Amino acid sequence: MSRVGQRPINVPSGVTITFEGSTATVKGPKGTITKVLPSVCRYTQEGDIYIVTRETEDRHSRSMHGLARTLLHNMVVGVTEGFAKELEIVGVGYRAEIKGKDLVLTLGFSHPINYPIPEGIKIEVPSPTQIKVSGIVKEQVGQVASEIRRFRPPEPYKGKGVKYVGEYIQRKAGKAAVGA
């Protein structure tokens, strides 16, 4: 049995979930999310709790059970609290700023990088070396943070680059001096 799939989903007041076939629409105070969920699962409401069950015990249904529950739970959390990822820029002269609807990154290249902010994502720059990506769709927040990090991933010698806050960068020793 799926341990994740068996857990009930608490739906706070102010959040409504509607199903049309296998398409779920979750509306809440922060917005609306629509997503196609695995059709091998059944979604039942008991008061303010949703329970995800599977139709059959075949391998595919068992593998989709936990996924379906997690996707629906992430939609509920997204419309109530939202999701956020924080990035940190390390390096002399490396910085970020917002100009209009673009995130402008100066990361040691011969030119600044203009990253257009996608719809549904909010990017804040509290300081020139910190970036906060937030939104209601967990996958989209993670994807945008990953794309920003990919412009200059942290290198292992000095740790320069864009990294997640709290990410550990394993350092390598530089060249050893040749002793004579």
pLDDT at 2: 60
| Residue 63 and residue 18 share a domain | yes
Instruction: Tell which of 80, 107, 132 closes a domain.
Output: 80
* Span 161-172, pLDDT tens digits: 999 999 999 999
Average pLDDT over all residues of the chain: 92
CATH of residue 97's domain is: 3.90.930.12
Average pLDDT of the segment spanning 106-126: 96
pLDDT of 145 above 90: yes
Task: Tell me which residue range forms the domain holding 40.
Answer: 3-80
How many structural domains are present in the chain?
A: 2
* Span 9-28, pLDDT tens digits: 999 999 999 999 889 999 99
Return the percent helix, strand and coil in the chain, to nearest 5. 20, 40, 40
163 within 8 A of 146, measured Cβ to Cβ: no
**Residue 1's pLDDT band (cuts 50, 70, 90):** low
Phi first, then psi: give them for residue 51, nearest 5 degrees: -125, 130
Q: Which long-range contacts (CB under 8 A, 24 or more apart) does 144-151 make?
A: 144/118, 145/85, 145/87, 147/115, 148/87, 148/103, 148/105, 148/115, 149/87, 151/105, 151/107, 151/113, 151/115
| Residue 110 and residue 62 share a domain | no
**Is there a domain that residue 175 lies in?**
no
